[in-house]
Amino acid sequence: MLSSRVGGAAPRLKRRIAVPVVWLCLLRPVVAAEPPASRTPPLPVASPKADAGDDLIGLVGRRVTLNGRASTPAGRIGFRWIQVAGPLIRMRVEEGDLLTFLPEAPGVYRFALVVAEGGVISEPDFTTVLVVAEVPQTGPAPAAASPPLTAQEAARTALASLPDGPGAATALAEAFAEIAGRIDLYGTYADILQGTSSRLQPVLPADPTRRAAWNERLFLPLTRRLIDDMLPAGLDLSRPEGQAVPLSAAQRRRLAEQFHAMARGFRSAAPSEDPDRVPQPARLETLPPNQAK
> Residue 141: its pLDDT value, please?
47
* Gap between the Cα atoms of 263 and 283, Å rounded: 29
| Cα dihedral 218→177→53→50 (10° resolution) | -140
What is the overall mean pLDDT for the chain? 78
Superfamily per CATH, domain 56-132: Immunoglobulins (2.60.40.10)
Model pLDDT for residues 24-79, shown as the tens digit of each residue: 333 344 455 555 655 666 655 678 999 998 888 888 888 899 999 999 998 889 99
- Residue 266's pLDDT band (boundaries 50, 70, 90)? very high
> Residue 130: its pLDDT value, please?
83
CB within 8 Å of 83: residues ≥ 6 apart: 89, 109, 110, 111
Contact 113, 52 (CB under 8 A): yes
* Gap between the Cα atoms of 211 and 128, Å rounded: 10
> Would the pLDDT of 97 be above 50?
yes
Least confident of 96-110, 112-126, 229-243: 229-243
Q: How many residues comprise the chain? A: 293
> Would the pLDDT of 215 be above 90?
no
Establish whether the linkage from the previous residue to 73 is cis, with ω within 30° of 0: yes
Contact 231, 149 (CB under 8 A): no
* Gap between the Cα atoms of 192 and 195, Å rounded: 5
Q: Kindly report whether the global pTM for this prediction surpasses the value 0.75.
A: no
Highest mean pLDDT among 57-66, 78-87, 140-149: 78-87
Distances (CA, A) of 75 to 61, 79, 96, 100: 32, 11, 10, 20
- Residue 131's pLDDT band (boundaries 50, 70, 90)? confident
Angle 241-228-61 from CA coordinates, rounded to 5°: 55
Instruction: Give me the residue spans of the domains in the chain.
Output: 56-132, 151-268
Helix or strand or coil: residue 78?
strand
Mean pLDDT across 269-278:
63
